[in-house]
């Protein structure tokens, strides 16, 4: 989609981080923007000072809410041309430690939020028959194993496959709609503060951080990487470059492909999954290999 000025952009998860940066970038490009999130105060900060941006409280876990968001974009601005399905949350801990409500919350936001968005926006884009683009926020963790972040990694792996499938299907029907899959590494966002927006309907008796020392160390390491991560504004520039150049994959960090390559090698060479995780304690793989050989 070469021309964005005067077009309409909808961004979910727009109250902070990458969503806020993309929404503000869209406005700076002369687009009409509808910023969506469950955080009203954050949305107000996002659209503050932007004459061509509006906000809409939206719970992406609801199909009806996504329908209302898509309908509002058409009613307010006359159409929808760029949609960035970006809302995301995270829990940590061993996979078996996450409660049913932990799993439901992460999958409902990260995966069902994208599913609902695709089902609500793509038909309207097809009906318009104009050049348009849909961006989904996956993660580097959607292309590699995510130990101690099972629900998050599961949701993001599913989102990657959904985006790939959607892109192929749109090409099959010769639709003028591009798709991009954003797979960011560490970005300075509020993802590790996701609990602030957890609804009561997903209440969990388990804390965010596990008491296990290995899990706790991973949590602290990841939280520090996010805290010191890339400026979301840089990501917004990458997103718009991909939109203009019909680019599917969007990587933010140079070493992301190294991680993907390591995971692919482990799959193709039938290695233990731990050997496909770049940066993992090497003794972890050795211990698991020894255990497997002992069996």
Terminal-to-terminal C-alpha distance of the chain: 55
Question: Residues 69, 48: contact at Cβ < 8 Å?
Answer: no
Joined tokens for residue 221: 């390491």
Catalytically active residues, by annotation: 152
- The DSSP result for the chain, as a single string, is ----TT-EEEEESTTSHHHHHHHHHHHHTT-EEEEEES-HHHHHHHHTT-TTEEEEE--TT-HHHHHHHHHHHHHHHS---EEEE-------B-TTTS-HHHHHHHHHHHTHHHHHHHHHHHHHHHHHTS-EEEEEE--GGGTS--TTBHHHHHHHHHHHHHHHHHHHHHHHTT-SEEEEEEE--SBSSSGGGGGGG--GGG--SS-SS-SSHHHHHHHHHHHHHHHT-B-HHHHHHHHHHHHHTT--EEE-STTHHHHHHHHHHHHHTT--GGGG-TTS-HHHHHHHHHHHHH-
Distance in angstroms (rounded) separating the CA atoms of residues 36 and 52: 14
In angstroms and rounded to an integer, the radius of gyration of the C-alpha atoms of the chain is 19
């Amino acid at each position: 989609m070469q021309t964005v000025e005067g077009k309409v952009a909808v961004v979910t998860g727009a109250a902070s981080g990458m969503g806020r940066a993309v929404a503000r970038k869209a406005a700076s490009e002369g687009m009409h923007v509808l910023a969506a999130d469950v955080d009203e105060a954050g949305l107000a900060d996002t659209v503050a000072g932007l004459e061509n941006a509006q906000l809409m409280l939206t719970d992406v876990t609801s199909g009806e809410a996504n329908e209302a968001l898509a309908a509002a974009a058409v009613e307010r601005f006359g159409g929808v041309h760029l949609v960035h399905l970006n809302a995301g949350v995270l829990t940590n801990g061993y996979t078996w430690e996450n409660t049913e409500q932990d799993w439901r919350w992460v999958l409902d936001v990260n995966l069902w939020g994208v599913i609902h968005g695709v089902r609500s926006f793509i038909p309207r884009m097809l009906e318009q028959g104009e050049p348009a683009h849909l961006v989904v926020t996956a993660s580097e963790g959607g292309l590699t194993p995510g130990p101690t972040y099972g629900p998050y990694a599961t949701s993001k792996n599913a989102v990657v496959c959904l985006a790939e499938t959607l892109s192929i299907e749109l090409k099959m029907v010769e639709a003028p709609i591009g798709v991009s899959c954003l797979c960011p590494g560490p970005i300075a966002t509020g993802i590790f503060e996701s609990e602030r927006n957890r609804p009561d309907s997903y209440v969990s008796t388990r804390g965010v951080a596990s008491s296990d020392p290995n899990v706790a160390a991973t949590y602290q390491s990841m939280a520090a990487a996010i805290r010191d991560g890339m400026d979301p504004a840089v990501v917004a520039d990458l997103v718009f470059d991909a939109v203009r150049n019909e680019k599917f994959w969007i990587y933010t960090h140079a070493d992301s492909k190294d991680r993907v390559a390591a995971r692919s090698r482990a799959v193709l060479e039938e290695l233990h999954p731990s050997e496909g995780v770049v940066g993992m304690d090497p003794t972890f793989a050795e211990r698991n290999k020894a255990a497997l050989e002992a069996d």
